């Protein structure tokens, strides 16, 4: 879906798309540097919603643009083979499943367009194949993050406490993952 509208918030031009869906409440989403205004069917308050959240929109889009600039300085690990990557994942899963005392039933690798991994409560863990382009410390963090969901499925305080025990710098790692996400998306051509 191409941006249909453009607005200006302070010094920033923001492309945005308004869509109506079967949702209960209106919401705003930012994907890369496009604002998506998602409204309940029959609701027509897009401009009001945008005006109400201008500061949030400005801050988020500014962060994305800053991350896009930073992504130009990141290097992807292009020489790592699929076999090497899967071995890294399996070894890291083994390491952290012991540490967290969780049981992983199945590991799958998929090309995902919007996340680095996913985990179900029954022990099935999916990893994005594009992780292979990332530095080892970020791969380790993603594995730990996904396995932590076997203890706590939600991204609540308990979950982040588990994460911070192993990765106290997790906020910086999350920022770095976003920067790499932009770099990987550009490299593989997903939008």
Per domain, the residue ranges of the chain are 5-71, 82-188
The answer to whether 31 and 62 have CB atoms below 8 angstroms apart is no
Distance in Å from the first CA to the final CA of the chain: 10
d(CA 115, CA 127) in angstroms, rounded, equals 9
Helical residues (DSSP H) of 72-152, grouped into ranges: 82-100, 136-148
* CATH code for the structural domain at 82-188: 3.30.2010.10
Residue with tokens 């979950």: 159
Q: How far apart are CA 85 and CA 133, in angstroms?
A: 9
Question: How does pLDDT run across 14-49, given as a tens digit for each residue?
Answer: 999 999 999 999 999 988 778 999 999 988 889 999
- Which tens digits make up the pLDDT trace of 55-98? 999 999 988 888 988 888 899 999 999 999 999 999 999 999 99
């Amino acid at each position: 879906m191409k941006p249909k509208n453009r607005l200006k918030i302070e010094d920033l031009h923001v492309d945005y798309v308004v869509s109506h869906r079967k949702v209960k409440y209106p919401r705003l989403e930012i994907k890369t540097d496009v604002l998506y205004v998602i409204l309940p069917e029959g609701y027509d308050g897009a401009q009001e919603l945008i005006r109400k959240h201008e500061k949030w929109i400005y801050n988020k889009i500014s962060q994305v643009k800053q991350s896009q600039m930073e992504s130009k300085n990141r290097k992807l690990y292009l020489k790592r083979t699929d076999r090497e990557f899967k071995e890294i994942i399996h070894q890291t899963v083994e390491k952290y499943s012991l540490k967290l005392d969780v049981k992983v039933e199945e590991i799958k690798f998929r090309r995902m367009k919007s996340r680095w991994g996913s985990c179900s409560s029954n022990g099935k863990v999916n990893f994005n194949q594009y992780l292979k382009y990332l530095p080892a410390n970020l791969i380790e963090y993603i594995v730990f993050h996904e396995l932590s969901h076997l203890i706590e499925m939600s991204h609540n305080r308990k979950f982040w406490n588990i994460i911070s025990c192993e990765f106290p710098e997790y906020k910086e790692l999350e920022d770095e993952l976003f920067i790499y996400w932009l770099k990987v998306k550009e490299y593989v051509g997903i939008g």
